[in-house]
Amino acid sequence: MITDPALAPTAMINSDHPDVIAFAHAAIGDAADEKTQAIRIYYAVRDKIRYDPYRVDLSEAGLSASRALSNGYGSCVPKAALMAAACRAVGVGARVGYADVYNHLSTQRLREAIGTDIYYFHGYTSVRIGDRWIKATPTFNVELCAKLKLATLEFDGENDSIFHPFSADGARHMEYLQFHGEFDDVQRSSILAAYAEHYPNFEVLGTADWDRDIEREGAA
């Protein structure tokens, strides 16, 4: 029985799921130290799971690590859960964290759907390397960054990796407004409450195509 909550599987950070275990071991390859393992998992989640803020399933299963993996896409919350789960699967302590961020880059459809440029309960991962907790944000895949003219967000296992305040061309990108803390499982009830309060029309995104919108208009 795993007694350390930063290593234990949960309903949504389901590090005991066979697909998550296989993904984690494929990602780390021959890496034996926890820093290198965490770095390799970061890049696997960042670039193998495409970011898609349109297709969001707020059910317990929809926010789980294994669902992000089976879908091959996800918003920041399930992608953060997948990184945490993959780290736990190989014995690296991990939690999920949340922050409210002001996003200066978005599509017209997304702005109209949520009615604001503030993204509540943006998800990231916090990994334990030695005796330190380090933030990692495996959200935007490399192809998306190229389309949006964003520098990719790197992770070195030593420094916090959170969104850049500016895009690659110097435009405003992200501002962190409030951190909500770091937790041993996905904070679904808090996310549901935030979405109900701030995004009452979120479901209108439906089956809209994020990639097509990005190709058509980029981000503004």
DSSP secondary structure of 22-74: HHHHHHHTT--SHHHHHHHHHHHHHHHSEE-SSS---STTTTSHHHHHHHTEE
Contacts of 18 (CB under 8 A, 6+ apart): none
User: What is the pLDDT at residue 127?
Assistant: 98
Q: Bigger pLDDT: 83 or 176?
A: 83
Taking residues 21-35, report their average pLDDT. 98
User: Mean pLDDT across the chain, nearest whole number?
Assistant: 91
CB-count burial class (<10 Å; 0-12, 13-18, 19+) for 16: middle
Q: Is 91 a residue whose pLDDT tops 90?
A: yes
* Within-domain flag for 92: yes
Taking residues 69-90, report their average pLDDT. 97
* Within-domain flag for 170: yes
Confidence band, pLDDT 50/70/90 cuts, at residue 171: low
* Within-domain flag for 24: yes
Taking residues 105-122, report their average pLDDT. 86
* Within-domain flag for 13: no
Q: Bigger pLDDT: 211 or 207?
A: 211
User: What is the pLDDT at residue 104?
Assistant: 62
User: What domain range is 24 assigned to?
Assistant: 18-217
* Within-domain flag for 12: no
* Within-domain flag for 11: no
Q: Bigger pLDDT: 203 or 65?
A: 65
CATH number of the domain at 32, please. Answer: 3.10.620
For residue 88 the two structure tokens come to 């736990």
* Within-domain flag for 6: no
Q: Is 205 a residue whose pLDDT tops 80?
A: no
In the chain, what percentage of residues exceed pLDDT 70? Answer: 92
Q: Is 210 a residue whose pLDDT tops 70?
A: yes
Counted domains in the chain: 1
* Within-domain flag for 2: no
